[in-house]
Amino acid sequence: MKPKHLKYLWKFYKDKKQWLEQGGKITRQFRILSDYADSAGIVKGHYFHQDLLVARLIHDHNPKRHIDIASRIDGFVAHVASYREIEVVDVRPLPKSEHENITFRQADLMNAQDLGQTDSLSCLHAIEHFGLGRYTDPIDINGHIKGITNLVSLVSKGGRLYISFPIGQADEVHFNAHRVFHVTSIFDHPSIQQHMTLQRFDYVNDSGDLHLDTSVTEVDKAIKYGCGIYTFDKSN
């Protein structure tokens, strides 16, 4: 029990007394004090915002096919699977799902994959891990660069790429957790320069708040660990 929650001990015993006075039975005392001051839930943070936002963007865009690369299964993938089919690819294995809208293939996107082209592809909060070995992937200092090249190659002409990753003051490696990128670094990647056009940019700041459909130049200059959410169209 955390000291800050001890101030609610009186309320626990008051509630318990009322319960017993009403004739209630207690099978086991399981004291929880931390929920008295909690809100209904959390509506902040990288995953909450990116998963809901990109799932909505895909719904509105209504592509013929959507492939996801290594995004969160119990967040983004689940959101999309609630209304359409989604093909999931990850370097890690995935237990079989009973939900027919989710299909899975195990593969390492640091290597080119024969998945066929798609008009819609996502890779949310994943590219920063490529090559760091955290998820049993091979160590490769250029893993993120190879990964982006392979992502772009999977998108058909006129198709869309949704990609997100941590953003901060500069390109950094926090081994073996993740990389952090400057907000504009993605535009220096040859495949992005040659084939992709930024359609919209959203980001989550250090406080976990979402900034919708803004410009990369509007990102807080003091940001340390935000989340950039980039929507690209493949122009050629």
pLDDT in tens, the chain (236 residues): 566 778 899 999 999 999 999 999 999 999 999 898 888 998 999 999 999 999 999 999 999 999 999 999 999 999 999 999 999 999 999 999 899 999 999 999 999 999 999 999 999 999 999 999 999 999 999 999 999 999 999 999 999 999 999 999 999 999 999 999 999 999 999 999 999 999 999 999 999 999 999 999 999 999 999 999 999 999 97
- Dihedral of the alpha carbons of 212, 215, 218, 224, in degrees to the nearest 10: 80
The helix or strand, by DSSP H or E, that contains position 9, with its residue range, turns out to be: helix 9-21
Domains and CATH numbers, the chain: 1-38 (no CATH), 46-234 (3.40.50.150)
The backbone torsions φ and ψ at residue 212, rounded to the nearest 5 degrees and listed phi first, read: -90, 140
Position 74 scores a pLDDT of 97
Residue corresponding to tokens 């091979």:
138
pLDDT of the residue at 164: 98
> Mapping DSSP to helix (H, G, I), strand (E, B) and coil, where does residue 17 land?
helix
Task: Give pLDDT, residue 4.
Answer: 75
Contact 199, 163 (CB under 8 A): no
Distance CA 228, CA 166 (A): 6
Q: Which of 215, 219, 190, 218 shows the shortest CA–CA distance to 206? A: 219
Cα-Cα-Cα-Cα torsion 138, 153, 59, 48, nearest 10 degrees, comes to: 30
The burial class, CB within 10 Å (0-12 / 13-18 / 19+), for 162 is: buried
In this prediction, residue 1 carries a pLDDT of: 53
pTM over 0.85: yes
Q: How far apart are CA 57 and CA 35, in angstroms?
A: 34
Q: How many Å apart are CA 75 and CA 131, to the nearest integer?
A: 23
User: How do residues 192-228 score in pLDDT, each as one tens digit?
Assistant: 999 999 999 999 999 999 999 999 999 999 999 999 9
* pLDDT of 2: 66
